[in-house]
Amino acid sequence: MLVKLAVLFSGNGSNLENILEKLHQKTIAKNSYEVVLCLCNNKEALGIQRAKKYNLKSIIIDHKNYKTREEFDEVLVQKIQESKADLTILAGFMRILSPVFTKQIKAINLHPSLLPLFKGTNAIKQSYQSDMKVAGVSVHWVSEELDGGEIITQKAFEKHNLSFEQFEEKIHALEHEILPLSVVKIFS
């Protein structure tokens, strides 16, 4: 089966590039994967250049051009539906999505903490500063609740005496490991 993927991102695009490297135009088990849409809400995002390395043009939809979150989400939904993507991946897409999106699009999100702990944008810092002895990353289904959908995959590590920079590197390495594995798991 050909699995079509849409990837939404807002910045650096390292998770986008990871998906492109590990899944785009690859066959794993009985499925072939193709990224059919790269969509970004930030015209300055480095991820746009990363997509170009794979001959993919990113669609840029600036959320600042819309009066409401719902208007922006309507355009996202339209572009995703036009792409005929089977799954949408939020890979560092820094927008809270409304029910206009969540009720119509089958999507997963990568989050840099062991959910349900440390939801929202400062998860890495909060996780690092917590008294917990372990930290990690989660991939979950997107729902109306921020970082609240059913968890698909999690991976943890012991914090030990890591500096913040080492901790952040470990988080990103785990993100790159579990995001493509989660996509494969969904379709196997």
**CA proximity to 73, closest of 91, 42, 106, 97:** 97
Digit-coded pLDDT (tens) for 63-85? 999 999 999 999 999 999 999 99
pTM strictly above 0.85 = yes
Which one of 24, 63, 111, 172 is the catalytic residue?
A: 111
CA angle 185, 86, 65 (to 5 degrees): 120
Residues 6 or more apart in contact with residue 155 via CB below 8 angstroms: 136, 137, 174, 177, 178
Helices (H), 84-158: 99-102, 123-129
| Backbone phi and psi for residue 185, each to the nearest 5 degrees, phi listed first | -60, -40
Q: How far apart are CA 92 and CA 6, in angstroms?
A: 13
Digit-coded pLDDT (tens) for 20-56? 999 999 999 999 999 999 999 999 999 999 999 999 9
For the question of residue 176 being annotated catalytic, the response is no
